[in-house]
Amino acid sequence: MERTKLLTIAVVGLLILNLFTIGFLVLKSERQPLSISHEHPPMGGPFRLIVERLHFDEEQQRQYRKMADRHHEQTVQLNDESVLLFQTYYKLLAAFQSDSSKTNTLVRQIADVQRRIAELNFAHFQEIKALCRPDQQADYNKLVDDLARLFGKPQRGRGPSNGGPPESRPDGPPENFPPHP
């Protein structure tokens, strides 16, 4: 085989390998599930959904971006606190005899963080409502109805009527586990 032909085959092979690698990286990044990040929240996801559903103009989008950034920072902070509390709580199981006062304190602290998260989300949607013009209020009300249905669903892993085990377990922790850091 000639050197030129061998080099041509090598170059074409490397080019194809590079294209496959780039394609893999692009497809992999699109399939990765969203997780709570300490960085700036993405322009897609909830931000895009709310902007589209409420038909925000440019100024409303700018104001909402600031609100969303602030909400994201506060949510990350509370989720981090929740993770630490749950870790401490479950470490108590390793003790020969658990301290009930410590257990009760942690349970109250976990409940307090969950309450603060709920209050934070509620206040965030009140801010979104205040950002809406009168002609957007009907769209906002529809969005809130959809959210109420979404969050009003029974927890994953519960049967529809008997609270029994699910037919198949999804991957990941049960609903009552803390979020992943």
More confident residue, 44 or 140: 140
Of 42-51, 123-132, 145-154, which one has max mean pLDDT? 123-132
The span from the CA of 6 to the CA of 94, in Å, is 64
Cα–Cα distance list, 109 to 65, 119, 177 (Å): 31, 15, 15
Q: What is the domain partition of the chain in residue ranges?
A: 39-143
Contact 103, 54 (CB under 8 A): no
CATH node for 39-143: 1.20.120
Instruction: Show Cβ contacts of residue 142 under 8 Å, excluding neighbours closer than 6 positions.
Output: 53
Of 108-122, 141-155, 164-178, which one has max mean pLDDT? 108-122
Helix locations, 32-99, DSSP H:
45-54, 58-91
The model's pLDDT over 93-142, given as tens digits with 9 standing for 90+, comes to 888 787 888 999 999 999 999 999 999 999 999 999 999 999 999 999 99
The model's pLDDT over 1-41, given as tens digits with 9 standing for 90+, comes to 687 877 778 777 766 766 667 766 767 655 444 344 445 55
pTM of the model: 0.60
The span from the CA of 51 to the CA of 123, in Å, is 18
User: How many other CB atoms sit within 10 Å of the CB of residue 52?
Assistant: 10
